[in-house]
Structures are given as C-alpha cells and as structure tokens.
Amino acid sequence: MSVVLYPGSFDPFHLGHLDVIEQSVELFGNVTVAAMHNPTKPSGMFNLDERMEMIKASVAHLPTVTVRSFSGLAVDAARDTNAGFIVKGLRTGGDFEIEQQMAHTNHAVAGVRTVYLPCKPSLVFISSRFIRELAKYGGDVAELVPAPVAARLADLN
C-alpha cells in the first residue's frame, strides 16, 4: 500500500484530526501527518515543533503513522515523503469550498491528487479555532482533543 500525506495546521490537533488519521490507516495503511504553516493563519497558538510533539503523542497507538513538520508547500511535503496522494477530512460544505480549491491547485501545479474523507458525524463540530478560544479563557476542552493535547492546553493556564 502507498504512503498518504495528511497535511494541516493542527493548531491544535483535535479528535476530528485523529479520526481522519484512523480512517486513513484503515483505508491506505501508511500515513505521514504533516504539521504545516498555513500562510492565511499567521497568528497561531503553538509553533510547528510543539504541534508535531502533541500529534506524535496522540498517535502513539498507530504504528504506521509518521509525524513530520514542514514550512513550505504541501505538494513539496508529498514529494519529500513519497506520498501517493493527499488526504483531507471534510466536516461541512464550507470545508469543501476551500479544500476543492486547494485540491485543484495542488493537482494543477504538481500533479498531486487529493482524496476527501468524511469526518465522523459526532465530531463534525470540532474546530481548532474554537479550541484555541476555549483554552485561552480556561474552558474545558477534554471532550474535543486527545489527552496529550488536553494536558498541554491545561498547562497554559
């Protein structure tokens, strides 16, 4: 089976992301998770190394998953990791709009294909943005993120 690349900001990593990784392992076998810089979200909460460490701790039970960080293009990360294609999770129609644009662009400029996976219905409402807001004001995010991320966020307050 080929390696697939799952790129994202993961700032922070949450249970919806973990679901996409678990689906990808089931369908494709080997998965490289790429914590990426998103130029449209410059003011993040954690740096790339911190995000990567939280993802590693959250996927420790999945031996076919590798976690890396990249600061360039997703298509270059796909090439560097020998990924056959990119996987992305879709929560809502809003996600589809932006993901479709990125998928077409990545295929047009580098021939890299993207496969969408529907997020588990019980997790579609989860977003990193609202987790950041909750964490900033000391809200409880334990139901939204894996335990290693919850512990790291609790440390902030």
Token pair in block for residue 56: 């590693």
CB of 134 to ligand PNS, least distance (A): 18
91 is catalytic: yes
128 is catalytic: yes
41 is catalytic: yes
Return the number of the residue (8 or 141) whose C-beta is nearest ligand PNS: 8
Q: How many angstroms separate the CA atoms of 149 and 76, rounded? A: 27
Set 2, 41, 71, 136: catalytic member = 41
In contact, 118 and 149? CB cutoff 8 Å: no
Cα distances (Å, whole numbers) of residue 135 to 26, 30, 67, 107, 152? 31, 32, 24, 36, 10
Residues that bind ligand PNS (CB under 6 A): 7-9, 36, 38, 41, 73-74, 102, 105-106
Set 17, 51, 88, 152: catalytic member = 17
Set 14, 51, 88, 91: catalytic member = 91
Return the number of the residue (30 or 69) whose C-beta is nearest ligand PNS: 69
17 is catalytic: yes
CB of 144 to ligand PNS, least distance (A): 15
Set 24, 58, 69, 128: catalytic member = 128
Question: Which residues sit opposite 34 in a β-bridge?
Answer: 7, 68
CB of 31 to ligand PNS, least distance (A): 15
Count other C-beta atoms under 10 Å from residue 68's C-beta: 18
User: What residues contact 16, with CB distance under 8 A and at least 6 apart?
Assistant: 89, 91, 119, 120, 123, 124, 126
CB of 91 to ligand PNS, least distance (A): 11
* Active site members: 17, 41, 91, 128
